């Protein structure tokens, strides 16, 4: 049993859900939500802050500022509180209320951008605000999760080797793409150490990350309105795009079996199970990464009115949710 003295010291990095019983799909889901930040973003936040301190960029009296759709903001709120920095999180109106309240409870200041930039959307408007703040006061330090190499290095150092240790026979790894820190860290490690493993990126339909046109996206976490600076497409073997309605349906299917995950997990699992269903996957070893858990999505993904208003009345059709093959 670990004993810790700062919150970022604890992270459950070796928990997998075998989805064969749940979905009939030969897929292991690596859970990244069991830490005090509740998400995979604790790793990137910790690595970026530690590196900025070592480089002398972050010093006593510095104020962290970061654009985040929520999870990195929570992770930085925790680390800032633990290390004695002030932190201002810049988010937008799609940020879940629960996530915002969580950051405030941890002592962060939350700035919500409500007007998207006509060309670069909410992200562009958030980044413009961050740049203004940094220009106005030299105490502000922007780690810039979108281009900070320490974000992918965190996964290169921890996530990918942890998966490889647990699954020496791994054939395919499904990773969601937001800033692509998780994807790039894992893809680089496997290309270096286990090049036979197929790296499949899972993106939200309507994201421009891999060169497809922009469209409305309401789930935070995956997808970008600008090309992710960290992304090196040559390290990715395949890209899947998943509709938000399918991601939400998958979240509800998992919840019906007692596994409450966030929207990006629904996206990755939906993409992975469709990919596996198109092949004879019986002998394949497949792993997908679940970035967070579902409690922060109770007012969105798990609210039937929110879902019906955005995606139509039949998205949560009872037949879609039944697993069919469940044992008595
Ligand atoms: C819920 C969730 N899923 C997925 C991601 C994507 O991770 P990455 O930015 O490493 O691509 C994020 C990033 O914030 C997230 O919050």
Give tens-digit pLDDT for 47-96.
Answer: 999 999 999 999 999 999 999 978 999 999 999 999 999 999 999 988 88
pLDDT, residue 319, reads 52
Q: In 3D, which of 109, 78, 242, 77 has the Cα closest to residue 176?
A: 242
Among the residue ranges 66-70, 119-123, 132-136, 263-267, the one predicted with the least confidence is: 119-123
**In this structure, which residue's CA is closest to atom 7 in ligand 1?**
178
Choosing among 3.40.50.300, 3.20.20.80, 3.40.50.1100, 3.90.79.10, the CATH entry for 41-142 is 3.40.50.1100
Pocket test for ligand 1, best of 146, 160, 176 (most atoms within 8 A of CB): 176
SS3 210: coil
pLDDT bucket at 325, cuts 50 / 70 / 90: very low
Cα 257 from Cα 19, distance rounded (Å):
10
Question: Which pair of structure tokens corresponds to residue 293?
Answer: 């858990």
Of 159, 264, 268, the one to substitute when testing ligand 1's pocket (max ligand atoms within 8 A of C-beta) is 264
pLDDT, mean of residues 190-204: 98
Rounded distance, CA 217 to CA 263, Å? 12
CA of 23 relative to ligand 1 center, distance in Å: 23
CA 45–ligand 1 middle distance (angstroms)? 12
What mean pLDDT comes out for the span 106-130?
93
Predicted confidence (pLDDT) at residue 120 exceeds the cutoff of 90: no
Q: Which residue minimizes the CA distance to atom 2 of ligand 1? A: 221
- Give the 3-state secondary structure percentages of the chain, helix then strand then coil, rounded to 5: 40, 15, 40
Lowest mean pLDDT among 35-39, 55-59, 217-221, 233-237: 217-221
| Equal CATH topology for 7-31+156-312 and 41-142 | yes
Q: What is the DSSP letter of 234?
A: G
Domain segments of the chain as ranges: 7-31+156-312, 41-142
**What is the architecture, at CATH level 2, of domain 7-31+156-312?**
3-Layer(aba) Sandwich (3.40)
DSSP 297: G
Q: With beta carbons less than 8 A apart as the criterion, state whether 119 and 99 touch.
A: no
- What is the full DSSP assignment across 62-111? -EEEEE-SSHHHHHHHHHHHHHT-EEEEEEETTS-HHHHHHHHHTT-EEE
- For the entire predicted model, the pTM comes to 0.95
For the chain, the distance separating the N- and C-terminal CA atoms, rounded to the nearest angstrom, is 36
pLDDT, one tens digit per residue, over 244-262 is: 999 999 999 999 999 999 9
Assess whether pLDDT exceeds 50 at residue 134: yes
- 176 ligand 1 Cβ < 6 A: yes
| pLDDT for 271 | 98
pLDDT, the chain, mean: 94
């Amino acid at each position: 049993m670990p004993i810790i003295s700062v919150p970022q010291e604890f992270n459950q990095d070796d928990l997998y859900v075998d989805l064969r019983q749940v979905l009939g799909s030969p897929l292991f889901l690596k859970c990244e939500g069991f830490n005090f930040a509740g998400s995979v973003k604790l790793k990137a936040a910790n690595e970026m802050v530690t590196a900025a301190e070592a480089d002398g960029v972050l010093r006593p009296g510095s104020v962290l500022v970061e654009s985040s759709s929520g999870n990195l903001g929570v992770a930085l709120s925790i680390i800032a509180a633990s290390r004695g920095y002030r932190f201002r999180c810049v988010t937008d109106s799609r940020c879940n209320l629960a996530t915002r309240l969580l950051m405030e409870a941890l002592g962060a200041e939350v700035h919500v951008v409500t007007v998207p930039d006509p060309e670069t959307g909410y992200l562009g408007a958030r980044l413009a605000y961050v740049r203004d703040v940094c220009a106005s006061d030299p105490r502000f330090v922007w780690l810039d999760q979108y281009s900070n190499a320490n974000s992918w290095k965190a996964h290169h150092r921890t996530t990918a080797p942890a998966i490889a240790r647990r699954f020496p026979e791994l054939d395919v790894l499904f990773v969601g793409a937001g800033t692509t820190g998780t994807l790039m860290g894992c893809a680089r490690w496997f290309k270096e150490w286990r090049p036979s493993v197929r790296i499949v990126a899972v993106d939200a339909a309507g994201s421009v990350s891999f060169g497809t046109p922009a469209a409305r996206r309401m789930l935070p976490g995956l997808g970008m309105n600008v090309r992710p600076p960290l992304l090196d497409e040559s390290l990715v073997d395949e890209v899947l795009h998943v509709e938000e309605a399918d991601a939400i349906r998958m979240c509800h299917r998992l919840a019906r079996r007692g596994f409450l995950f966030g929207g990006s997990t629904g996206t990755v699992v939906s993409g992975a199970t469709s990919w596996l269903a198109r092949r004879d996957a019986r002998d394949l070893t497949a792993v997908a990464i679940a970035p967070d858990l579902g409690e922060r999505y109770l007012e969105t993904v798990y609210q039937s009115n929110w879902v019906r208003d955005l995606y139509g009345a039949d998205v949560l059709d009872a037949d879609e949710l039944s697993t069919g093959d469940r044992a008595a």
